Chains A and B, each alone.
Chain A
Amino acid sequence: MSRDFLIIGGGVVGMAVAYGLARRGRRVSVLDEHDGSLRASRGNAGLVWVQGKGLRMPRYAELSLQSSEAWPTFAEELTARTGVELEYERRGGVDLCFDAAEAEARQEEYRALYAATPALAAMRWAYLDREALREHLPGLGEAVHGGTFSPWDGQCNPLYLLRALYAACRSLGVDYRPATPVDGVEARASGFVAHTPMGDVVAPRVILAAGLGARRLAPPLGLSGEVRPVRGQILVTERLPQGGRLPSPQIRQTASGGYLIGDVLENAGFDTGVTLETLHQLGRRAVAVYPDLARARLVRSWGALRVMTPDGSPLYEASRPCPGAYNLSCHSGITLAAFHAEELAEAIDSDRLATRYGDFSGARFDVQATG
């Protein structure tokens, strides 16, 4: 066989792992769906975010912290390799709270989480009231009660990240095939075969990084594929002068000047449309957070489906019945990109995924079901 790995899915997870494997000298093919398919990687807000991750799974919080620390080097290397600027910065971030109850609940959650393991003692965060926040978020509106600040939070341009990964993979000889949807993957004696309208593609090992496609592709390979769509909607404004504000999940200003407004979680099945009610709510919240944005023009909006596991933490699994098949599902593919491109790729390559990241396998859902 002419390849070592077949990766199903050319989003930020698949391409980061492809990049990692290719850097280790592996021959990788990536099969990607169409331009108009569900493309979670084009739908997110671009936060490289630590705080609040893994509230139900400290190990995930550790992973986020670890990946955040690896991000600067990861970004530099990608840019050096491809010339694509990622607009990455880590100046800190603030998750906003709009009333006292929310502020209290947030602080309790964080206190509990960041005391949970020794590794998490490295996490730094602080609750700041509105006045104190104004230093980080000039022009903050009265509607904001306060927020949790962490210096480990940052942001990037997620689209340029994907572009850089594409360019890096190309330069490393990754065989990337767009418009090649996979009908199914079969385990055979010698490895795996992916059935596509363009013909069969075979490989000794296969990695599913297919977003919501895991629901269909994972179970036949003995993988859980337990993900469901959770829709987010995002507004984007015209370019505005830089306001020097730290990013928030609710609203952040990109390097090119537009504000991204979002942080909505909806059950809308597989509908990637936007709704009037939500756009309206997002508009109201944006103006409540930064009143000077009342004059800002909304130029774009979109809906996108997060790839959400039952507990929100990543799913990294190695198949037991079909050794050599792996499934990777997460909704934080941006933050975890550095981890995916390095440690995760290494773990898969050396077939240590189950031993090192067993906490993240699908078995944890079975435990929850029976427990």
Chain B
Amino acid sequence: MSDASLRHAEVAIIGAGPAGMAAASRLAEAGQRPVVFDLAPSPGGQIYRQLTAPQVGEEVMGRDYLRGRAMLERFEHARLDYRPGSRVWWAQREGQGTTLGVLAGGRSELWQAKRLIVAGGAMERGWPFPGWQLPGVMQAGAGQILLKQGGLVPDAPPVLVGTGPLLYLLAWQYLRAGCPPRLILDAAPRSRYAALLRRPRATWHAGHYLLKGLGMLGALRRAGVTVKHGLEAIEAEGGARLEAVRYRLGGRWHRVGASLLLTHFGVVPEPQLGRGLGLAHDWHDGQQAFVPRRDAHSLAAEPGVWLAGDGAGIGGALNAEREGHLAALAILSAEGEAVAREAAPLDRARRRDRSARTLLEALFRVPEGWLAAQPETTLVCRCEAVSLGEINAAMAQGAAGPGQLKAFTRCGMGPCQGRLCGESVTRLLAGHLGTTPAAVGTYQVRPPLQSITLGELAAAAVPPEAERP
């Protein structure tokens, strides 16, 4: 096995969204040469996707998107080793370092990273409802990616459903692009906004977000877009593809014809890397998601591994940038540099932001009771087409944990490796067993963290045991 296939990195960073870019740029400016592994073909993560050559201007996207250009330019000019199209399929702690198996260009290389920053970002929550697997049903983030990537917009007014800022942001962007949505169905009851009155301090910290949101809502209303609150249930209808959307408000069902339904039920940390590394996780009630455990100040999960950005807990793009910066400072501090003065304002901003976040979490909390109440034909696992009914039957037959449920039904065994169904399984088991998501846990994650072909695996770099620390 050739030595050239065992690579060494003083610092490796997984992810090139705001957290990864901020960390990488800061370390590069300190004279280090971090290696950045990015699953995507170009930097920016989701939020700043395509920003190196934006396809749509501020008049549609708003200001926040284009703000990322400075970050991107800084990243692109920094002296670092950026590796796009990299699939980190193997990640294992070895002492304080981490061994990474990275597939790029059809070849798998083995990397020894002395220090690792995990900035893998978030994903949209998988939220099952009848017909969600039909062509014509997509997540709101997907709509936004198409908009950013190529200025693609729906060719007929879409229906937007769910809860969370992204729903309104996308609707607003579509409006400004001249294709307003037909209908927005908000799963949050109107009374939810009374939360604002009960938390004046958090409201104050969240002021910026709230004003923006109100502005968007106002524009949508003025344009005549119908917005309904208190959505109780949703169903996508159609044969080969989406044809209509059924929804329930105030106990009554309604139907509207639609060829595109965009849903958004919040974002959660993308779990594979954290779980694959064996990091400890906690169930975060506010975010309604498992969040990897890390030191609140240094952002270290374990000696040698730092977590930054939405992958470590949802905090938004600005927070991700700050955390990437802080993770870089933590590494520099570990090497003896004095960083306290630089870190202090970042910490303060994080705390303020955290306060705002708790309000947003309360405002946009997902309707937890929905899942168990869905019709039994609803697919919980899309990849393996496992329905809620099958899961209920397996639980009734004695499956008392995610592993057993997976074994009995194949739920979680498909290509997405449980990313979309994991949370659902946790919720269903918690409900069935009368316990909490924290007690139930989730699937055990094993390599490959991203799929790899047998041929690539057979040709993968694997130094002999003796050579490895």
Contacts and interface: CB of A to CB of B under 8 A. Distances in A.
Contact present between A and B (CB < 8 A): yes
Interface stretch (B42-50, B258-266, B443-451): B443-451
A284 B458 contact: yes
Contact of B446 (A280, A286, A301): A301
B90 A298 contact: no
A299 B417 contact: yes
Contacts of B413: 236, 299-300
Contacts, number: 123
A265 B454 CA distance: 20
B191 interface: no
Given A297-B451, A300-B446, A276 B101 contact: yes
Interface in A283-323: 283-284, 286-287, 293-303
A301 B414 CA distance: 12
Interface residues of A, number: 46
B407 A295 contact: no
Interface string A9-47: 010000000000000000000001011100100100000
A99 interface: no
B23 interface: no
A238 B407 contact: no
A162 interface: yes
Interface stretch (B52-60, B163-171, B395-403): B395-403
A179 interface: yes
B298 interface: no
Contact of A39 (B403, B417, B455, B460): B403
Interface in A264-280: 273-274, 276-277, 279-280
B407 A42 contact: yes
A238 B415 contact: yes
B407 A283 contact: no
A124 interface: no
Nearest to A259: B454
Nearest to B99: A276
Contacts of B2: none
Contacts of A295: 453-455
Interface in B82-124: 90, 92, 99, 101, 110
Contacts of A36: 401, 403, 441, 444
Interface stretch (A70-78, A110-118, A163-171, A349-357): A163-171
Interface string B434-469: 000000010010111001111101101010110000
A294 B455 contact: yes
Specify which of B99, B458, B465 lies most central, judged by the most chain A CB atoms within 10 Å of its CB. B458
Interface residues of B, number: 38
Contacts of B458: 280, 283-284, 286-287, 294
B447 A297 contact: no
A237 interface: yes
Contacts of B462: 276-277, 280
A371 to B, nearest CB: 37
A298 B415 contact: no
B355 interface: no
Interface in B395-426: 396-404, 407-408, 410, 413-415, 417
B436 to A, nearest CB: 14
Given A42-B404, A298-B452, A277 B465 contact: yes
Contacts of A176: 398
A280 B401 CA distance: 30
A178 B414 contact: no
A294 B400 contact: no
B398 A166 contact: yes
Nearest to B452: A298
A317 to B, nearest CB: 28
A279 B447 contact: yes
B465 A279 contact: no
Sorted from nearest, which 3 A-B pairs have the closest CB atoms? A35-B401, A294-B455, A283-B457
Given A169-B398, A286-B454, 15 more contacts: A35-B402, A36-B441, A42-B407, A160-B408, A162-B408, A163-B399, A170-B398, A276-B110, A277-B462, A280-B457, A280-B458, A283-B458, A283-B460, A296-B453, A298-B453
Interface of B: 90, 92, 99, 101, 110, 394, 396-404, 407-408, 410, 413-415, 417, 441, 444, 446-448, 451-455, 457-458, 460, 462, 464-465
21 contacts: A10-B398, A35-B402, A42-B407, A160-B408, A163-B394, A176-B398, A178-B401, A235-B457, A256-B410, A274-B447, A280-B458, A282-B457, A283-B455, A286-B458, A293-B455, A295-B454, A296-B454, A297-B454, A298-B451, A301-B446, A303-B446
Interface of A: 10, 32, 34-36, 39, 42, 159-160, 162-163, 166-167, 169-170, 176, 178-179, 235-238, 256, 261, 273-274, 276-277, 279-280, 282-284, 286-287, 293-303
